[in-house]
Copies of this chain bind each other. A is one copy, B any other.
């Protein structure tokens, strides 16, 4: 298989579900032809590549690590092979590169230089949480993490309420997994009980659960999302 010179954006399973469950078959074939990878974490990228193709020779591959430790002035150099016509891949830790994950910086440079970018299909907890929530899919916003300081956080929660009521916009956000339960308790405490919260956790995993209830109803439920990758969605 030969593939066109481009920057391939390669999704990775979200949980430990088998690759073939959540990725179209050609993804592994494309991955198998690539020799240069921009990755969030070299160890987990290697593990993913071995699963794509058990016969892959890792020592023949070149990895460029792109995460919060990477110096911004280094990033452009990663694309040198692509500038010479050699196809490259971008792999993040879980889910889709460049969405709630590093990768956007290097895609932006490729776009600036007119280098071709090709996203592949794969699981996204944001998108699948939204599908399963029953909330408005015609208008939605992903906000990333809420601010940590109390003032900023309360301001953000007020804005979210406004966007739900005025713009009918579904609000999607995440939390560090060990704080999931305390976030849920906070939402019940500070937001009106008629608002609906969808908690989508371990998507595509064995313990997948996507549950939409009013905050009033959540108050009567038993839950434990501690350390489980989870997406939160709010709507009315």
Contact = CB atoms under 8 A, between A and B. Distances in A.
Contacts of A112: 134, 212
A162 to B, nearest CB: 12
A131 B99 contact: yes
A47 B121 CA distance: 22
B137 A140 contact: no
A135 interface: yes
B119 A128 contact: yes
Interface of A is mostly: mixed
A96 B108 CA distance: 26
A104 B24 contact: no
A136 B104 contact: yes
Contacts of A165: none
Contact of A127 (B127, B144, B169): B127
Contact of A117 (B108, B134, B144): B134
Contacts of A22: 24, 121
Interface stretch (A56-64, A183-191, A203-211): A203-211
A111 to B, nearest CB: 4
A-B pairs, 10 with minimum CB distance: A108-B134, A111-B212, A107-B134, A119-B131, A99-B137, A141-B141, A119-B128, A138-B144, A111-B134, A117-B132
